[in-house]
Amino acid sequence: EKEKGKEKVPFINGPPSSSKEDLKIDRKLAQLSFFISSHFYRHRPVRHGFVNHSSPVSALCTLAALPRLQPPKSPRMEGVAPAISLLRPRASARSPILLAADSSAARRSTGARGRDMGPRRSVEASPSGAGITRLPKLGPGVSTKRIGRSKDPVINYDVSHHRAVAAVRLLRTEKGKAFVDLLNETTDDSGENEMGYVERTLGFSTRHLEDRDIRLVTVIVAGTVRWKRYLDYLIMSLCSEEKLFREMEPLLLQILRIGFFEILKLEVPAYAAVDENVRLAKVALRPGAGNMVNAILRKLVSLNETNSLPLPKIEGDDRAQARAISITYSHPVWMVRRWFRYLGKDEALGLMNWNNSDPHFSLRVNTSKGYTRADLVKRLESLQIHYEESIMDEFVRIREGMQAVIQAGLLKEGMCAVQDESAGKHQVPVVGLVVCAVDPQPGETIVDCCAAPGGKTLFMASRLSRQGKIWALDVNKGRLRILKDTAKLHGLDEMIIDVHADLRQYAEDTSAKYDKVLLDAPCSGLGVLSKRADLRWNRQFEDLEELTCLQDELLDSASMLVKPGGILIYSTCSIDPEENENRITAFIERHPEFVPQSVCGYVPAEFVTEEGFYSSRPTKHSMDGAFAARLIRSMH
């Protein structure tokens, strides 16, 4: 090409820029790629079958299939992807060159037979018969400003889109940068946001997520996180050596977890789970990764069909049994041993089964805006969402269709709120029962000490019949702002006063006293593990000691806000006695002016303990675990 003098020279990055320096870079890259390509074909056998190898662009495409042979970096190229990632798909009359991104495309273009090691994508033929090619993916740090056009995403229609999104979300969840539940992101463009993460992580986009896809992603991600210990044990057992599992790259591990979960727990047909996850691994990583996924998943299918999975035997002393059960039921060992001690083996196993089940959603109708449950039921029926009515007039329970509720605008209209996720024969939301224990009455002054995100605050405000005030106190300013916005949406903002402060400092600074003080204290969340799939892996045994100290401090501060004859309500979403009954006992010893008052008459009798506290347990009541106690302050 150099010998042609001033004749046209193909440029690897689109038309030349007005900058002379850019022109020099383009010419040097073209010359360098042609030289290396010629050397490659002279000294090594052609295994990749690339056509039109006299072209500098084809030479660079050949280099892309050989990671060991890469053009040297110039100072200008520091921090930029290799030359192949700079290639832009162009098709014009001047240069009808189409690009190939891996060897499998070339093999198909020359009619080569054999096993296809790469992903299938849409192909395009050159007008000049240059061959069949595909579009390369740009490096994440590559700028497209020189080209004079915006970066168009490469959409891959062959990869399972919901599996690609699930794999990326699992990566983000493990780093603590995303919710497990995609439905928690209640914006209308949550699907588009996920596509952005997929493109930045994998280098390509997939089809748009529909409502059903978002629900499926949530099921896969939440289930994979819940069963992570169980799945990892099996994956490690089926690897040729433990080192292979320990050093496995994160994305490959997530793809394997998805495949194992689909086959073992979702009962997806084996051929579909294997094929789709192998294809995802090949496209997102490399052909060799797909081969590994294929081998491990096929071995799993074979063992599962013969009921011979390599699971640990539950035998030996208590410690050994707890370790084996922690794998089989996918829970931390310390939780298993603690529940064995407090609940007994049978109830502990039942609790773990509950934690591994899919939660339900509870919707509370906003009666303060004039809506009734019949209005909400009518809207749900129009959306073809199956529902169940609760024994509490304000609540309706649904298992699926939350995304349809969001997109239909029921939350934005203020018709209802997502109050809680609980299920079972009682169909009673835990939040509702705690508010029942508070028993807010018109004209009362109430402080919600740890108010955000505001579920209990809004429910209490709706019970005041627009008479009385609620002070919503929280240390998190952002979450408090969300609470205030939701209160406006529900028409309750005039009854709620938001206070951004730490309870301990607020109690010292103010002289105000209130009729009722609700302390929904920070806790371990051991009663709601079914709806917070990742919480079990984020809690350590040492956390309990720190939490109990914090709960004691908050209880002492909250008690300073209660006027004589007033009520202090302490609640948690934990089932651990150390955070519940033991905290009340210790508090009364420090504050003899407070006396426990039974919740009997405020909540159904089956939730009242012998000590007069409210307590719900998943194994007993088939609903999330929670605790609440009423403490009345003496008049002196």
| 284 alpha-carbon distance from chain centroid | 20
* Whole-angstrom distance, CA of residue 2 vs CA of residue 262: 56
Helix intervals (H) in 140-185: 161-174
Examine the residue annotation and report whether 573 is marked as an active-site residue of this protein. yes
pLDDT tens for each residue of 151-197:
566 788 888 988 999 999 999 988 876 667 654 444 445 556 677 78
468 is in an annotated binding site: no
266: alpha, beta or left, given left = phi > 0 and alpha = psi -120 to 50? Answer: alpha
pLDDT tens for each residue of 121-133:
333 333 333 333 3
Do β-strands 594-597 and 496-500 pair in parallel, antiparallel, or remain unpaired? unpaired
DSSP assignment letter at 563:
E
* Whole-angstrom distance, CA of residue 419 vs CA of residue 433: 12
* Whole-angstrom distance, CA of residue 474 vs CA of residue 498: 8
* CATH number reported for the structural domain that contains residue 621 in this entry: 3.40.50.150
CB 37 within 8 A of CB 86: no
Residues 454 and 369 in one domain: no
83 is in an annotated binding site: no
Residue 222 lies in a domain: yes
CB 630 within 8 A of CB 597: yes
Residue 65 lies in a domain: no
Most confident of the following: 42-46, 48-52, 375-379: 375-379
* Whole-angstrom distance, CA of residue 19 vs CA of residue 581: 75
Residue 144 lies in a domain: no
Residues 440 and 343 in one domain: no
What pLDDT is attached to residue 7? 46
**Total count of residues recorded for the chain:** 636
455 is in an annotated binding site: yes
Residues 486 and 343 in one domain: no
313 is in an annotated binding site: no
Task: Please spell the DSSP secondary structure of 468-520, one letter per residue.
Answer: SEEEEEES-HHHHHHHHHHHHHTT-GGGEEEEES-HHHHHHH----EEEEEEE
* Whole-angstrom distance, CA of residue 138 vs CA of residue 140: 6
Residue 67 lies in a domain: no
What pLDDT is attached to residue 400? 78
Q: Name the nearest CA neighbour of 261 among 216, 227, 310.
A: 227
Task: Convert 414-431 to b/e letters by CB count within 10 Å (16 or more is b).
Answer: bbbbbbbbbbbebbbbbb
Average pLDDT of the residues in 288-309? 96
Average pLDDT, the chain: 78
* Whole-angstrom distance, CA of residue 365 vs CA of residue 264: 38
Residues 482 and 619 in one domain: yes
What pLDDT is attached to residue 234? 97
Residues 401 and 434 in one domain: no
11: alpha, beta or left, given left = phi > 0 and alpha = psi -120 to 50? Answer: beta
Structure tokens at 377: 């039921």
Residues 511 and 616 in one domain: yes
439 is in an annotated binding site: no
Structure tokens at 146: 């020189």
Average pLDDT of the residues in 318-331? 96
What pLDDT is attached to residue 404? 82
* Residue ranges of E strands in 503-620: 514-520, 562-572, 594-597, 614-616
Query: Percentage of residues in the chain with pLDDT exceeding 90?
Result: 52
CB 127 within 8 A of CB 3: no
The CA R_g of the chain, rounded to the nearest whole Å, is: 31
DSSP, collapsed to helix, strand or coil, labels residue 591 as: coil
Helices 270-284/250-264 angle, 10° precision:
170
What pLDDT is attached to residue 508? 95
Alpha carbon distances (Å) from 400 to 280, 308, 326, 456, 609: 27, 34, 29, 24, 33
Residues 406 and 516 in one domain: no
Structure tokens at 138: 């740009």
pLDDT tens for each residue of 451-480:
988 889 999 999 998 999 999 999 999 999
Exposed, middle or buried by CB within 10 Å (0-12, 13-18, 19+), for 82? middle
Residues 287 and 351 in one domain: no
Structure tokens at 387: 């529902």
* Whole-angstrom distance, CA of residue 214 vs CA of residue 220: 10
Active-site annotation holder among 239, 416, 523, 573: 573
Residue 627 lies in a domain: yes
DSSP, collapsed to helix, strand or coil, labels residue 415 as: coil
The single residue listed with the structure tokens 């150390």 is 578
Helices and strands, number each (H, E), in the chain: 24, 14
Most confident of the following: 18-22, 199-203, 315-319: 315-319
What pLDDT is attached to residue 103? 36
* Whole-angstrom distance, CA of residue 139 vs CA of residue 84: 9
Residues 368 and 478 in one domain: no
474 is in an annotated binding site: yes
Task: Please spell the DSSP secondary structure of 313-357, one letter per residue.
Answer: P--SSHHHHHHHHHHHTT--HHHHHHHHHHH-HHHHHHHHHHHTS
Query: Considering its fold, how many domains does the chain have in total?
Result: 4
Residue 33 lies in a domain: no
* CATH number reported for the structural domain that contains residue 249 in this entry: 1.10.940.10
pLDDT tens for each residue of 577-623:
999 999 999 999 999 999 999 999 999 999 999 999 999 999 998 88
* CATH number reported for the structural domain that contains residue 371 in this entry: 3.30.70
Residues 447 and 557 in one domain: yes
543 is in an annotated binding site: no
Higher local confidence (pLDDT), 66 or 598: 598
The confidence band for 513, taking pLDDT boundaries of 50, 70 and 90, is very high
456 is in an annotated binding site: yes
Residue 11 lies in a domain: no
The confidence band for 387, taking pLDDT boundaries of 50, 70 and 90, is confident
Residues 275 and 344 in one domain: no
Alpha carbon distances (Å) from 343 to 116, 252, 476, 546: 55, 38, 35, 23
What pLDDT is attached to residue 453? 86
Write out the residue range of the structural domain in which residue 341 sits: 318-356
Residues 253 and 282 in one domain: yes
Contacts (Cβ under 8 Å, ≥6 apart) of 128 = 96
Helix intervals (H) in 91-138: 103-109
Residue 471 lies in a domain: yes
What pLDDT is attached to residue 224? 96
Q: Report which secondary-structure segment, H or E, holds 33.
A: helix 20-43
Angle at 161 between CA 158 and CA 162, to 5 degrees: 145
The confidence band for 360, taking pLDDT boundaries of 50, 70 and 90, is confident
* Whole-angstrom distance, CA of residue 496 vs CA of residue 357: 36
What pLDDT is attached to residue 59? 44
